[in-house]
Structure 1
Amino acid sequence: MPTSKIQLRFIDLSLRLCVLPLSVGSIWLTVTNKQDSSIYGRLEFSNLNGLKYMVCINAISACYSLVAIVSFWLRCLCLLTKAWFFLCSDQVLTYLMVTSTAAVMEILYLVYNGDTNVSWSEACSTLGRFCNRVKVALILHTIALFCFFALSLISAYRVFSKFDPPNVTSKDVDRKELEDGS
């Protein structure tokens, strides 16, 4: 195997290994995050759909990363089929992580700034510990998102580098120019 393919495989495996603790850490911080307030009552992650969505996506990404790591050592799939599977899966996971990041960022924006149009006041002055833990969970989730973004690029490179570029002859170019000119 050429050196560049070995390095690419090492980077791929390293990124997938990084996703595991990042996702699990984000899940743990979010699920164990609770705070009581005399103004707002008890606030838990299960009260906010965006946080539940992020936990779900983190769980999916951690499980997928584990399956992908194990599949590196298994030769049960054709290499091209495996490359296409990883390309599609990495893309889907990246998009899901973008949407869950956006959902949690909206929650954080609202709890920090409020929304006067719907009479919501900012809550982080009262629920500071809750807000800080959500921020840390979001940071871990965002780092995992960047890992998946890089994995998507690596997967795309792996798939499309297996194909030769199309051959264009001068006859094809001349014929195309004649068709466009008429």
Structure 2
Amino acid sequence: MEKVGAVAAAGSSPMDTFPARDGEVAGEGGNTCLRTAETLLRLLPMALCVGALVVMLKNSQTTTDFGSISYSNLGAFRYLVHANGICAGYSLLSAIVVAMPRPSTMSRAWTFFLLDQLLTYVILAAGAVSTEVVFLAYKGDQATTWSEACDTFGGFCRKATASVAITFVVILCYAVLSLISSYRLFSKYDAPVGHNSKGIEIAVFHG
């Protein structure tokens, strides 16, 4: 009791000594771990995008009977290259921003939410249209007189398939990042508050 009285006389309370500091340290450690995990998660699609981009850029084949073919001959594959390049750059920049120990603000949460959503749809569109081209290259389309090409350009088709497959892994990464940024944004909004018959505040949710 004498120690408590001495602390009170000095202008502070016993609760200000060590319990709050322990909580603050634990919170900082948890935030650091989460920040590190998100940084690595944002760097992963960058590496995958670069891999898919390089595979497609080197995708060309020449035959003696049917000439040569390159990814640049097909608009869908050019779009795939550009989309992977954009996503790789965004992944690197966003990872750098996330790695910086800055307080999370509403404007920052909105920015990540919108950009993550946008890039997810960009890379999804690239993967979808490229998948259609690869399918036609393997199977052809008799209705439009599109003949099979992979029997002749097998190496070209295999590299294109590998690039598209890597792109779909990137899509999964961006889907996860979109969920994280969505949760981070909408968790900042408080539930609407109402009062019951006793005047006590309660959260109100409308169906």
Write out the 4+ residue segments of structure 1 that deviate beyond 6 Å after TM superposition. Answer: 75-78
Q: How does 1:16-27 map to 2 (within 5 A)?
A: 16-27=42-53
Aligned residue for 2:109? 83
Aligned residue for 2:152? 126
From 165, 168, 175, the counterpart of 1:149: 175
TM-score of the pair, normalised by structure 1: 0.85
Q: Does structure 2 conserve the Cα–Cα contact (< 8 Å) formed by 1:8 and 1:154?
A: no
CA shift in 2, pair 1:158/1:2, >3 Å: farther
Q: Does structure 1 conserve the Cα–Cα contact (< 8 Å) formed by 2:38 and 2:98?
A: no
Deviations 1:63-119 (A, max 9, x none): 001111111244678622111101000000001111111110110111011011121
1:124 Cα offset (Å)? 0.7
Distance 2:102 2:29 in 1: 24
Q: Does structure 2 conserve the Cα–Cα contact (< 8 Å) formed by 1:26 and 1:137?
A: yes
Aligned residue for 1:136? 162
TM-score of the pair, normalised by structure 2: 0.76
Structure number with bigger Rg: 2
Aligned residue for 2:85? 59
Partner AA of 1:11 in structure 2: A
Specify which structure has the higher proportion of helix: 1
Distance 2:122 2:155 in 1: 27
1:30 and 2:63 equivalent? no
Structure 1: stretches of 5+ with no match in the other structure? 172-182
CA shift in 2, pair 1:86/1:62, >3 Å: same
- Larger RCO, structures 1/2 (Cα 8 Å, 6+ apart): 1
Identity across aligned pairs (percent)?
A: 34
- Which has the larger displacement, 57-66 or 72-81? 72-81
Distance 1:93 1:108 in 2: 22
Q: Does structure 2 conserve the Cα–Cα contact (< 8 Å) formed by 1:22 and 1:141?
A: yes
- Which has the larger displacement, 12-21 or 43-52? 12-21
CA RMSD of aligned residues (A): 2.1
Aligned residue for 1:176? none
Aligned residue for 1:161? 187
Residue aligned with 2:61, SS: strand
Distance 1:5 1:143 in 2: 27
1:92 and 2:118 equivalent? yes
